Amino acid sequence: MEIEPYRGELLAFCYRMLGSFHEAEDLVQETLLRAWKARDRYDPARASVRTWLYRIATNACLTALDGRARRPLPSGLGAPSDDPGAPLAPVLDVPWLEPFPDARFDVEARADLRLAWVAATQLLPARQRAVLVLREVFEFSAAEVAGHLETTVAAVNSALQRARATVAEAGAGSADSYREPGDPEVRAVIQKYVQAFEAADVPALVRLLADDAILEMPPVPLWYRGSREYGLFIERVFQMRGPGWRMRELTANGQPALAAYAPDPVAGGLQLHTLQVFTVVRGRVTHNVVFTDPRVLGALDLPHTYPGDSFHPDR
């Protein structure tokens, strides 16, 4: 019985349930270990290996989620800030939503890993979340999901209806309108953003933003709405850290993303500073989630310093 080939999709499933890439890795390892120990009791006449593994993973996730708070983004906790100079104090006791590094999963299924969608599903009770993910993402039948959760098909269908309504109300948007990061229009916007940011050209950067663009920075609980506020905050960033940044294009959660390298006047060179995950709609940036947690950055397998470049304070 082969179970290792399912690791990638189980990782994506557990991430959708938990909102944490690191916890998802642990739960997948636990799932495969449980499956290996129980391999002699597996009955292929009752379920496929895939269905059997998902039942184990679902139960592991529900156990892990029991009594836990949801993983939010800052925009899910309160009103936007109107002070671009507010203190950037991280709040480390909040279990913030983490990004998912695209290099670790099958790109065929990445649309439903969008940060906005995953954040919206965090509003659901754990069993509703399991129903939504298993039915709509992994396309298990209602009967199969009922088996996973030891409930009825009617209960599964009712939970799915409630989950869909909650996610829609949260404004996560539809995957039907999702555009790949490689879409020419999306790529053009991101490349212009890189040029503006590396040139420290805030007016050019602001011209790439939607009027109601959102900028947020977990684990800092602040967030800003509006191209003006976004631009004022970026001006503050350059005032604090100086110009001379470099950006590296990648993807995360199936969205365009940039790894930002900031000048380090003490150590020299350019040090990995943030992961920025973008939403681009109709040729404008509508949302940028900026992750600064070193543990999150460590999952990207990126160099800590920008290759082939250095910072000189007098440049």
Between CA 161 and CA 172 the distance in angstroms is 16
Q: What are phi and psi of 36, to 5 degrees?
A: -65, -40
Query: Which CATH number among 1.20.140.160, 2.40.50.180, 3.40.50.300, 3.40.718.10 corresponds to the domain 4-97+111-173?
Result: 1.20.140.160
Residue 99 CB partners (closer than 8 Å, separation 6+): 21, 115, 252, 253, 257, 275, 277, 289, 291, 296
For residue 219, cis peptide bond before it (omega within 30 degrees of 0):
yes
Q: What pLDDT does residue 310 have? A: 47
What is the three-state SS of the chain? Answer: CCCHHHHHHHHHHHHHHHCCHHHHHHHHHHHHHHHHHCHHHCCCCCCCHHHHHHHHHHHHHHHHHCCCCCCCCHHHCCCCCCCCCCCCCCCCCCCCCCCCEHHHCCHHHHHHHCHHHHHHHCCCCHHHHHHHHHHHHCCCCHHHHHHHHCCCHHHHHHHHHHHHHHHHHCCCCCHHHCCCCCCHHHHHHHHHHHHHHHCCCHHHHHCCEEEEEEEEECCEEEEEECHHHHHHHHHHHHHHHCCCCEEEEEEECCEEEEEEEEECCCCCCEEEEEEEEEEEECCEEEEEEEECCHHHHHCCCCCCECCCCCCCCCC
Burial class (CB in 10 A: 0-12, 13-18, 19+), 19: buried
Q: Rounded to the nearest 5 degrees, what angle is found at the Cα of 86, between the Cα atoms of 82 and 92? A: 115
Q: What pLDDT does residue 246 have? A: 97
Q: What pLDDT does residue 314 have? A: 39
Q: What pLDDT does residue 51 have? A: 94
Averaged pLDDT in 10-residue chunks for the chain of 315 residues:
88 95 96 94 91 96 94 95 93 95 67 88 96 94 95 98 94 64 93 98 98 97 97 96 95 95 88 96 96 92 79 40
Q: What pLDDT does residue 268 have? A: 81
Q: What pLDDT does residue 102 have? A: 87
The contacts found for 146-151 with CB under 8 angstroms, 24 or more apart, are 147/47, 147/51, 147/55, 148/54, 148/55, 148/58, 148/59, 149/58
> Would you kindly state where each structural domain of the chain is located, as residue ranges?
4-97+111-173, 184-298
**Where do we find the tokens 């900028």?**
215
Q: What is the CATH number of domain 184-298?
A: 3.10.450.50
What pTM, to 2 d.p., does this model score? 0.91
Q: What pLDDT does residue 37 have? A: 94
Q: What pLDDT does residue 174 have? A: 54
